[in-house]
Chain A
Amino acid sequence: MHKPIIFMLRAGVMLMLFVCFPGALMAESEPLPQLVLPVPADEHHRTYLGLQESGDGATFEVVEIDADILLIELFSMYCPYCQAEAPLVNELYELMQALSGSEPKVKIIGIGASNSDFEVDHFGKTYDVEFPLFSDQDMAIYNALAGAGTPGFVGARRDAAGGFSIVLRQSGGFYSAADFLKELIAAGAN
């Protein structure tokens, strides 16, 4: 007797959620697209990502990255906002590195949207970026992630099937690396 009413109520709540927060429903189960990247030539980057392959033209899938939570930064060398954000993102990386063993393993990579290898390398050197950066000159990765401007962030957590599921999307920067990391970990725990 009450079932139709309960169904209607649930449907109404879901509709409101979708209208007010378009990301709310998809964030629950949206898988991270399959992304293939070149194995970094830098040994430290390979170690950070947990990759065994050499950097000689080999590729890897993002799902292979040794992380419980993965944050992907979308940036451009030319973007003044990304330039301004770079020190904060470096601070975020340092905070990730400082997490204790009892906390989730959180890692970050950067994707240089529309940037060449040279431009990504120049950005990394200019801002002393220690985490791996990858060029995305044809914006295939940016588009696969449904990017919406730079800087932007896509956070994903390891799911039961061994893949990554998207738990966070953010266009724009953040004010506090510590607060952003807390939110990322909280999103990954939900």
Chain B
Amino acid sequence: MKVMIYKAGLAACFCCILALGWATPGLTAQKHYSSLVYDTGRLQPVDSELQVQVGDIAPDFELPAISGKAVRLSTFRGHKNVVISFVPAAWTPVCSDQWPGYGISRPLFDQYNATLLGISVDNVPTLHAWVQQMGNIWFEVLSDFWPHGEVASRYGVLRGDGTAERALIFIDHQGRISGLIVSDINVRPPLESIVKELEKLN
């Protein structure tokens, strides 16, 4: 089983949050941003055990999306590679600047005939509000809220506190898992690690 666990220091935990009074006096051109992100503090890096491995047929699921659709994984089989991005929870650090990065990376996914499915254990209204706040999210965002974390649990990325791991599952167009990245929950997997896995899909 190939599992990559990214560990890094504080650096990768960095998230964009703003901007409370760090300014030279007298500036009039300043635009303030406010953060709605809840600071969880540093968490145990990984708190689950994978139930899938490279080469497995990815467990099928159907989940409600914030677009209003119900998205079934197996509908992509035969014509599209799929990347699943599990994130721990809405409105938390790292997650709140992980998907916006993917928001400007659609060409990278298109290049490898891949679509991205974002999954969180939050309910649809919460995910809707979070995605609206992040903006520029082109991919389907799915709610694994009820039965709580059932899909995350089947993949083995449901943590003991009911959140999910920060995990990426790469699935080829035949529905087979080609790569798995379970990151330290406190850090963001670098974009190039995704590209490296996408390259395997072609």
Contact between B25 and A21, CB atoms less than 8 A apart? yes
A82 within 8 Å of B (CB atoms): yes
Report the bound CA distance from A82 to B104 in whole Å: 12
A23 within 8 Å of B (CB atoms): yes
**Which stretch (B52-60, B79-87, B93-101) binds chain A?**
B93-101
Interface residues on B, range: 35 or more
Contact between B97 and A80, CB atoms less than 8 A apart? yes
Where chain A touches its partner, the secondary structure class is mixed
- Residue in A84, A122, A137, A148 whose beta carbon sits within 8 Å of that of B11 in the complex: A137
Interface residues on A, range: 35 or more
B32 to chain A, nearest CB (A): 5
Contact between A24 and B25, CB atoms less than 8 A apart? yes
Report the bound CA distance from A146 to B54 in whole Å: 43
Where chain B touches its partner, the secondary structure class is loop
Contact between B22 and A122, CB atoms less than 8 A apart? no
Contact between A122 and B105, CB atoms less than 8 A apart? yes
Q: Mark A140-179, 1 if CB is under 8 A from B, else 0.
A: 0010000011111001000000000001111111111001
B63 to chain A, nearest CB (A): 24
Restricting to A75-92, which residues have a CB under 8 Å from any CB of B?
Answer: 76-84
Contact between A78 and B190, CB atoms less than 8 A apart? no
Contact between B14 and A139, CB atoms less than 8 A apart? yes
Restricting to A119-145, which residues have a CB under 8 Å from any CB of B?
Answer: 119, 122-123, 126, 137-139, 142
Given the interface pairs A172-B19, A180-B29, the reply to whether A78 lies near B97 with Cβ below 8 Å is yes
B199 within 8 Å of A (CB atoms): no
- Residue in B9, B18, B100 whose beta carbon sits within 8 Å of that of A149 in the complex: B18
Chain B residues with Cβ below 8 Å from A168 are 24, 27
Report the bound CA distance from A155 to B188 in whole Å: 29
B33 within 8 Å of A (CB atoms): yes
Lowest 8 A-B CB distances belong to which pairs? Answer: A79-B16, A171-B19, A172-B19, A148-B22, A78-B101, A114-B14, A171-B22, A21-B25
